[in-house]
Amino acid sequence: MDPFSEVDLKMYFYENRLKTFEGWPFNEDCTCTPENMARAGFVHTPSENSPDIAMCFFCLKELEGWEPEDDPEKEHKSHSSSCHFIALKKKVDELSVEEFFKLHKEKHKSMIKKTGNAAITKFEEAAKLKRANIIKAAEGEE
Ligand SMILES: [Zn+2]
């Protein structure tokens, strides 16, 4: 993937993140409103069974099971303390080009890590299955 594609850069902007929160279950009288969620870096990534999944566009941490009084910024920091986006002291549009490039590099690191971990999990599951089959076959031979 082109690291500077529009898709990849789009979610750096609050307005684009906010747009994803259509149908978000928490709107009034609560802390985790779409505005606060988007401000904390989250995008709404619902699935059929879980309408309240949100993912940080930057560190790709997914959180669900939100309660009305949850503070998105605090939740983000406590579940993903190494996220460079939530740790930013400035707004994205106030960063220098150099600062932005550094930040974007970190985003790619988290993407690679997530893809790598998913591949490892898949491999381990396949290996487990294979092992079970070998054992079964060996037992059959006895
Ligand atoms: Zn994050």
β-sheet bridge partners, residue 56: 42
Domain ranges (residues) in the chain: 6-141
Q: Which tens digits make up the pLDDT trace of 5-43?
A: 666 789 999 999 999 999 999 988 999 999 999 999 999
Burial (CB < 10 A; 0-12, 13-18, 19+), residue 54, is buried
Torsion of CA 46, 91, 84, 80, to 10 degrees: -40
- The CATH architecture assigned to 6-141 reads Orthogonal Bundle (1.10)
Residues in the chain: 142
Cα of 83 to ligand 1 centre, how many Å? 4
Q: Does this model's pTM top 0.85?
A: no
Cα of 17 to ligand 1 centre, how many Å? 13
Q: Which tens digits make up the pLDDT trace of 59-71?
A: 999 999 999 999 9
Cα of 136 to ligand 1 centre, how many Å? 44
DSSP letters of 3-56?
TT-HHHHHTTSHHHHHHTTTT-S--SSSS--HHHHHHTTEEE---SS-TT-EEE
Q: Which tens digits make up the pLDDT trace of 72-100?
A: 999 999 999 999 999 998 988 899 999 99
Cα of 48 to ligand 1 centre, how many Å? 23
Does the structure show a pLDDT above 90 at 125?
Answer: yes
